[in-house]
Structure 1
Amino acid sequence: MVVLGRFVGLFIDFPKPLIAVVNGHAAGMPVTLLGLCDVVYASEKATFQTPFNLLGLTPEGCSTMTFPAIMGPAKATEVLLFSKALTAREACTLGLVTEVFPDGTFQSQVWKKLKSYGQHPKVSLALSKQLIRGAIKENLHTANSREYECITGRMYSGEFLNALQNYFQKRSKL
């Protein structure tokens, strides 16, 4: 679990703009890390879900801090505690996704944007990101530490082991 905490720390400290591109079903950490990205583009077919509590786990990826800030406490609670799945449009409306593209033109439109961003002055981009994220960076690291302390304890709980066993039993019946 220490490795995962460090991994999230790299997202927090990354000096350049982080742009996520989602074109399918995203669940768990790939969703929670979106809150640490600067821009998120999604295909209209993308979906987002955080099934932590279904597995007897707790949220991670700084989502206990970023999701309420992005989508408000009530929606963040519904997504993080009750595993509410979001469509790309819902995620965009809530602020988790920056822009949604039609599936058929997704790749070409996203690459066009990414290429244009690559033309921006690099030092200016990094300094601007530092100004935007600098004020909350320490709080993000604190949230990451708290989340990983909690999730590490959950990994050895009977509740997690039972939920995991039930999950795989349901999958094997499919």
Structure 2
Amino acid sequence: MLKYSVLILMVVSQIVMAEEQVSYLNKAKKVGENVWIGPQPTAQDFDELAAEEIGAVVNTRTAAEMEQLGYSEVEQASKFNMTYDLLEIGTGHPYSPAKLETFNALMTANKDKKMVLHCRSGHRASQLYAAWLIKHQNKSTSEALEAIGSNETELNDAMKSLLGQ
């Protein structure tokens, strides 16, 4: 019985280790030629981002959320000479047309760089990117939703707020 328990523990630990080794960009969704949307990167993920020549990181979490991390994302990005911008969306920082215009300025400023857009899970960043595709890249609603991997057929309230609808 002990042999089987040890064997099961070994198999489970190998599975857990394999899951932990999944690269950040494999977890993220490539939504444009040089643009990925993903969840909150870890401090260690920045090593991979640098190796993949990511040049810009746009974070849509709030400053309050970022204070809860065990590291400074600004410092990690700076360590690898990445442009870093915090475009807060969340409690006290609603979706708005002004946020979309700021995001457009960031996309324009970083157009020649590989970029990672993120929030906690990738949801806020995806909504912002879809609205940007519609307003600034002349994509249809269905094209924008498809680009972010959404199965929806209509814009949600957050995207409508970004577009001023």
Give the TM-score of the pair, scaled to structure 2. 0.30
Larger radius of gyration between Structure 1 and Structure 2: 2
Give the TM-score of the pair, scaled to structure 1. 0.29
